């Protein structure tokens, strides 16, 4: 969730569109929770932007475009691995690709938000039983190539504490752009 004025966000306006119990990630806002809201978590995240040539990683073997019928499998993998905000309809926000072991989705990555030429790489995750095979890296490289071909600038977010992921993205060609506060807030209802 982004606010036009992160120093003074309009939670009252947002509440009109929320149901009690809904949670949102917010960026760059700090201060006490307004009436009707609670802060569930607070940390920082790194915003990273692509700053390299064309990725040289090979295509992931068997990568498929994730169509709507894979939404539940994608959500299940996201719940298991917690790559960040992900809902049943997240894949509608951009291109998503996945790798399967039989009928089980074992790795995925996709696109979420964009502004002007900036395009986010998001939802990067690999099932714990299949880590260390480079599946996530290859899926990210596939997305970066696609975005560069569309004259877009890839960017992504990495939560603080996920240093191995951040180091991987740096080796791939992303650089730190900004570290900012990120919070999870929950609407509890009108006061």
4 inside domain: no
2 inside domain: no
Predicted local confidence at residue 191, as pLDDT: 64
Predicted local confidence at residue 152, as pLDDT: 98
Q: Give the separation between CA 179 and CA 143, rounded to whole angstroms.
A: 23
Q: Give the separation between CA 57 and CA 60, rounded to whole angstroms.
A: 9
122 inside domain: yes
> Going along 13-66, which residue ranges are E strands?
23-27, 37-50, 64-65
Question: Please, what are the averages of pLDDT over each run of 10 residues along the chain (191 residues)?
Answer: 85 90 88 93 95 90 94 97 91 97 97 95 97 96 97 96 94 96 91 64
Q: Give the separation between CA 31 and CA 91, rounded to whole angstroms.
A: 32
Q: What is the CATH number of the domain that holds 38?
A: 3.40.630.30
- Among 150, 84, 72, residue whose Cα is nearest residue 112: 84
53 inside domain: yes
1 inside domain: no
Please give the residue range of the domain that contains residue 143. 20-187
Number of structural domains the chain divides into:
1
Using a cut of 0.85, tell me whether the model's pTM lies above it: yes
């Amino acid at each position: 969730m982004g606010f036009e004025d992160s120093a003074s966000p309009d939670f009252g306006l947002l509440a009109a569109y929320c149901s009690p119990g809904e949670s949102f990630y917010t960026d760059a806002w700090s201060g006490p929770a307004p009436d009707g809201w609670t802060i569930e978590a607070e940390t920082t995240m790194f915003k990273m932007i692509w700053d390299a040539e064309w990725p040289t990683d090979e295509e992931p073997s068997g990568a498929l475009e994730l169509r709507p019928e894979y939404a539940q499998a994608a959500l299940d993998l996201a719940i298991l691995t917690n790559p960040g905000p992900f809902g049943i309809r997240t894949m509608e926000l951009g291109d998503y690709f996945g790798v399967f072991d039989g009928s089980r989705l074992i790795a995925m990555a996709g696109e979420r938000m964009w502004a002007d030429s900036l395009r986010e790489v998001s939802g990067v995750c690999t099932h714990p039983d299949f880590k260390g095979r480079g599946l996530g890296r290859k899926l990210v490289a596939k997305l970066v190539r696609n975005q560069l071909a569309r004259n877009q600038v890839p960017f992504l977010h990495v939560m603080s504490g996920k240093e191995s992921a951040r180091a991987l993205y740096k080796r791939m060609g992303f650089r730190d752009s900004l570290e900012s506060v990120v919070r999870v807030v929950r609407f509890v209802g009108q006061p």
